[in-house]
Amino acid sequence: MIFLTLIASVLIAVVSIYQFRREAKIYHQDRLERKENAIVEHINYVLQNTTYPLTTENIPKIFKERIHELSDIHSMEINFYDLQGNLLISSKAVFKLDSLRPKINPATLRILQGTIEKRYVEFVQINEQSFRSSYSYVKDNKFKSLAILNLPYEEDTSFYDNEVKNFLLRFGQVYLIMFLIAIILSYFLSSYITKSLKVISDKIRETNFSKENQRIVLQEGSKEINLLVDSYNNMVDQLEESASKLAQSEREQAWREMAKQVAHEIKNPLTPMRLTVQSFQRRFDPNDPNVKLKLDDYSKTLIQQIDTMTSVATAFSNFASMPAQQNETLNVVKIVQLALDIFNEDFLQFSALEDEIIAEFDRTQLIRVITNLVKNAIQAIPDEQEDKLVFVTVFRELGNVKIEVQDNGKGISDENKARIFEPKFTTKTSGMGLGLAIIKNIIENYNGTITFESELGKGTRFLVSFPIID
């Protein structure tokens, strides 16, 4: 809007200046013609009443006393030239007869002779001042050419120049007001438009596939904005529906994968159990003196495999349905120490910068988190390694309690870092790989985070963080 106002104003100013100059040109052209016609009529009157014969040589005599009168009456300089362009008489007061008399330019004379009207107006620019010089033939009563009449005319454009200046001044004042109004209107108009767009952009920026998105509600808006809002709301509905279907699909896929894993883990001990039963059935002899010892071995083998299946079922049950949180206000430092008491490794060290850091957490689940991390840290250190170290630290930072578990074990390879929290993923020869996935769920339920840093061959550092009570 501001740009269009500026362009329109410039065009108006240019057109106005052009119009003023054109009117000035037409005015001077018409004025010269009117004066020329009046002077010619006056000259004809003088010629009709003169007693001198009407010849070229008598022109100076005829107008000797009258040329100044004509010049004063019509306010014009008047010059008479013979037909060859030599000056005969002039109304200029400073003209001297004995000086070099000016002549008509030969080119001008040829043009005048060649015109049908026998009239020619020459334009001259002297010191930035424009002049028109009119040339026409003076004829007798028989239409015979006697002389050439020259009327120099100075174009006085001061009046139009002042008009242009006054117009531009007034126009500039009006334009300035229009420009300020355009700026104000543009600001409020753009604010009105961008207000709706900002609401839409903020909603789009907050749109997340993993959470419920709010629809946009606008009280008023343009047709285009309303179409955009409707499109966004439709997208939110479709996104929510797609997210629901995807979540359901992911849950079903997760349960299928978990079912396969559980079936695989349960199937593993069934094979040795079957072989043991078949072997015992074939070799069982009631009269064998060692029958009791063999029965004990057989029973131990079955019990061992049954315990394996029980641990698998327990791990799966713990991951599938976490127990309800029993939130309580507790001293994190004390609970961590309590969780570490079950470990007998002499290379396990504990440090706390404070004796008491109060947070709200489930005591059992917090012990479970510490136990799992420390157990993984111990198992990550090879048995043949000499300088073993597992270091547990508890400290406060930026309104959160931090629990750090660091070991100097074999570390985690780069290809396994991205999968470390995946269910059923493990680098150990035993276990189902659900421990880290379970404690990650526990921590996130308390608006916390769990991260890790690891370097192959040097060790791993897990960091748990969750809010404390001020």
Q: Pairing mode, if any, of strands 79-81 and 87-90?
A: antiparallel
What is the SS3 assignment for 427?
A: coil
Q: What is the dihedral of CA 192, 193, 194, 198, to 10 degrees?
A: 100
Cβ-count burial 57-95 (b if 16+ within 10 Å, e if not): ebbbebbeebbeebbeebebbbbbbbeebebbbbbeeee
Q: Using the predicted structure, report yes or no on whether residue 48 has a pLDDT greater than 60.
A: yes
87: confidence class by pLDDT, cuts 50, 70, 90: confident
Q: Percent of the chain, pLDDT > 90?
A: 5
Residues 197-217 have pLDDT tens digits of 777 777 777 776 656 666 777
Spatial strand order of the sheet with 400-407 comes to 348-352, 390-397, 400-407, 459-467, 449-455
What's the chain's length in residues?
A: 470
> Distance between CA atoms of 247 and 257, rounded to whole angstroms?
15
Q: Using the predicted structure, report yes or no on whether residue 64 has a pLDDT greater than 60.
A: yes
Output the average pLDDT for the chain.
78
Residue 464: predicted pLDDT: 92
Q: Which residues pair with 331 in a beta bridge?
A: 358
Q: Using the predicted structure, report yes or no on whether residue 273 has a pLDDT greater than 70.
A: no
The stretch 301-314 carries a mean pLDDT of 70
> Distance between CA atoms of 371 and 192, rounded to whole angstroms?
59
The two three-digit tokens of residue 244, written as one number: 């629901």
* Neighbouring C-alpha atoms within 13 Å toward the C-beta of 255: 7
Number of helices (H) and strands (E), helices first, in the chain? 11, 12
Q: Using the predicted structure, report yes or no on whether residue 122 has a pLDDT greater than 70.
A: yes
- Lowest-confidence range among 19-33, 113-127, 246-260? 246-260
Residue 421: predicted pLDDT: 76
Q: Show the DSSP H helices in 321-458 as ranges.
A: 332-340, 363-379, 414-417, 435-445
Q: Using the predicted structure, report yes or no on whether residue 432 has a pLDDT greater than 50.
A: no
- Lowest-confidence range among 112-116, 283-287, 328-332? 283-287
Q: Using the predicted structure, report yes or no on whether residue 394 has a pLDDT greater than 90.
A: yes
Q: What is the CA radius of gyration of the chain?
A: 56
Q: Pairing mode, if any, of strands 390-397 and 348-352?
A: parallel
Q: Using the predicted structure, report yes or no on whether residue 104 has a pLDDT greater than 60.
A: yes
The stretch 306-315 carries a mean pLDDT of 68
Q: Which of 208, 273, 269, 267 has its CA nearest to residue 243?
A: 208
Amino acid found at 152:
P
> Distance between CA atoms of 451 and 460, rounded to whole angstroms?
11
- Lowest-confidence range among 92-101, 203-212, 291-300, 334-343? 92-101
Residue 96: predicted pLDDT: 45
Residue 327: predicted pLDDT: 76
Which residue matches tokens 């005969």? 88
Q: Using the predicted structure, report yes or no on whether residue 352 has a pLDDT greater than 60.
A: yes
Would you say 125 and 101 are in contact if contact means Cβ atoms under 8 Å apart? no
Task: Quote the DSSP letter at residue 88.
Answer: E
pTM score: 0.38
Residue 393: predicted pLDDT: 93
98: confidence class by pLDDT, cuts 50, 70, 90: very low
User: 433: alpha, beta or left, given left = phi > 0 and alpha = psi -120 to 50?
Assistant: left
Q: Does residue 298 or residue 148 have the better pLDDT?
A: 148
> Distance between CA atoms of 298 and 295, rounded to whole angstroms?
5
Residue 25: predicted pLDDT: 79
Report the range out of 58-62, 90-94, 415-419 with the highest average pLDDT: 58-62
Backbone angles phi, psi at 364, to 5 degrees: -65, -45
> Distance between CA atoms of 452 and 412, rounded to whole angstroms?
10
Q: Does residue 221 or residue 233 have the better pLDDT?
A: 233
Q: Percent of the chain, pLDDT > 70?
A: 79
Structural domains of the chain, ranges and CATH numbers in brackets: 2-161 (3.30.450.20), 223-320 (no CATH), 327-467 (3.30.565.10)
Residue 461: predicted pLDDT: 92
The stretch 374-383 carries a mean pLDDT of 88
The stretch 71-92 carries a mean pLDDT of 85
133: confidence class by pLDDT, cuts 50, 70, 90: confident
Residue 97: predicted pLDDT: 44
The stretch 109-115 carries a mean pLDDT of 85
Q: Does residue 433 or residue 411 have the better pLDDT?
A: 411
